[in-house]
Structure 1
């Protein structure tokens, strides 16, 4: 009999016998011995990789935005106005754009190390304050979408795998693959056209009704009304990925010996699935979940733009239109930092959840 790593449910049988205690390896690797010394090294390697990734983000983000066609904000901000060349040069000097790229870069890095993300050319406001103002709506949108997507995807995925080949499995996988292949902006536009434009069931954009002075519970209902279509758009595309990964993980576990042992002990199928198969199948989804939590925030640009949701995504779209270089750099660094941080957390959790990695 083999017991899958991480399956604690089989450690005690129905008669109360501690199965795991009979195995010499049941207690797992001794973290206090030589193997335990690998944990600091593991943390150092992962943290170093995250810092290197962040450094590359800063470098690529700075230079990429400056090589885009029409990336001179002084010209873009004065377009359509009668201004002299001297006025354009004055603006470029004010923005520090008359310096060499290397000088601008080192000044940018110095400001970044002190927490200064610069001043927005368009809003004439510090980038840090703009991001702090807009991050709340983005977290509300992406947090709600992530919670629903994870719950729905993992639940339907494990049910579809357990009923492999049934009409339920075919329906769920077919629907998931369809939504997975649909561009987010296209789905958002369709929902906007049907439910806001034709049926008038939901507002066409924004976070609250324009001119509304509602407070309390009425305000919450108004926000939820505006939140529905953006959340449905994000959930429809994202939940499919969790469903397919969870389904594949459960299918891989279904042939394991420890499930045969659980059935031989007389456990019903629902308990075999819930207590043994699903906990072990969750391991491969940990990284995906945390990567997508970070990716959802970065992917909010499209959804927030379609629905005019006043978050970081819509702010980034506005910055691209100018272009507003300090604001673009600031939002780019914030989005990238969140993704890198979520990746780092996923690596740590995977090591905690999978005992096999502790011995590595």
Structure 2
């Protein structure tokens, strides 16, 4: 099977899976307890006003009618208006998306770089003290409970030492200051991003290290490594230019999938650090029965995850000539 045929087949599969995801999301949100009107109505609102509000949202229609409108809106890119904010859902998500991409893409790239670097060293020094310490550190970081670590980071670095802000993404006094330039504002964002970034790097770099170490150990058994040694190449050259690039392939897959799933913003991370991203908005929309916003957020995550899987498969074929579709 050629690569083009493989891509077209996968795109067809993605279309079917996405349709199933759309349907499941529609049903799940309608079966969830509570309704948006009960959370939005004023205590003084009369039953007639509540009924008019339901009609304006289209929630008085039969489920099958709501479902048809839902499919039509998704097909046309009209994800509706948020029940809570009263704004178009796409506008809300597009405002939050850059914040999520900034934090989580940076953390994943840094985690992967650290994991690959220390993973190849651990594998190269297998059985030595360096390998033991790196492996134990990776296992410890990998098993940390994220909310606990986040709260510890806030307590120590923000509250006790006072080096970083406790929550949020920006300092209002900086952004309303007409004399603050782009560099000052960028540094303010980085200052707020430091704690969640360190937390995410500590949580994730251990898994990349373990994957790289395992893959590197398998690669070191291959014949071309023995051939490279027979040619008289230095150990550093063999490690960095022959073994490490091939051993990093599983890490590439892991990074690709992590980047895809990171678009949900890590609901726990964004909630603990009050980071205004997709994950925090997703938690809020689900807890407040904001159907359009929650459905759009889940669909955005589904699209990115499905397409990222396809990109990783195609990228694998380019990185490893032995793989053919």
Same structural fold, with TM-score higher than 0.5 when normalized by the shorter chain: yes
User: Which aligned pairs between 1:10-159 and structure 2 lie closer than 5 A?
Assistant: 38-70=2-34, 72-78=35-41, 81-159=43-121
Aligned to 2:283: 317
Q: TM-score, normalized by length of structure 2?
A: 0.94
Alignment correspondent of 1:206: 168
CA distance in 1, matches of 2:12, 2:213: 34
Q: 155-164 or 204-213: which moved more?
A: 204-213
Distance 2:203 2:303 in 1: 23
CA distance in 2, matches of 1:66, 1:179: 39
* Backbone CA RMSD of aligned residues: 1.5
Alignment partner, residue 122 of structure 2: 160
Q: What residue in structure 2 maps to residue 32 of structure 1?
A: none
The size of the alignment, in residue pairs, is: 321
Q: Please point out which of 276, 298, 319 is paired with 1:332.
A: 298
* Structure 1 residue 299, shift from structure 2 partner: 4.4
Q: Which of these two proteins has the greater Rg computed from alpha carbons? A: 1
1:303 matched to 2:266? no
Runs of at least 4 residues off by over 4 Å: none
Q: 5+ residue gaps in structure 2?
A: none
CA distance in 2, matches of 1:168, 1:54: 46
Greater helix fraction, Structure 1 or Structure 2: 2
Counterparts of 1:55 and 1:189, CA distance in 2:
39
In the alignment, the residues of structure 2 paired with residue 236 and residue 128 of structure 1 have an alpha-carbon distance, to the nearest angstrom, of: 33
**Residues 224-246 of structure 1 deviation map (CA, whole Å, 9 limit, x = unaligned):** 11000111111111111111111
Q: Provide, for residues 254-300 of structure 1, a one-character-per-residue CA deviation record: whole Å limited to 9, x for no partner.
A: 11111111111111111111121112112222221100111122242
- Comparing 167-176 with 116-125, greater Cα deviation is found at 167-176
SS of residue paired to 1:308: coil
CA distance in 1, matches of 2:69, 2:158: 47
**Unaligned runs of at least 5 residues, structure 1:** 1-36
The separation in 2 between residues aligned to 1:171 and 1:101, in whole angstroms, is: 58
Q: Deviations over 1:42-85 (max 9, x none)?
A: 11222222222222221122221221222x10111126x23222
TM (norm. structure 1) is 0.85
Corresponding residue for 1:21? none
Deviations 1:63-122 (A, max 9, x none): 21221222x10111126x232222222221111111122211110110111111110011
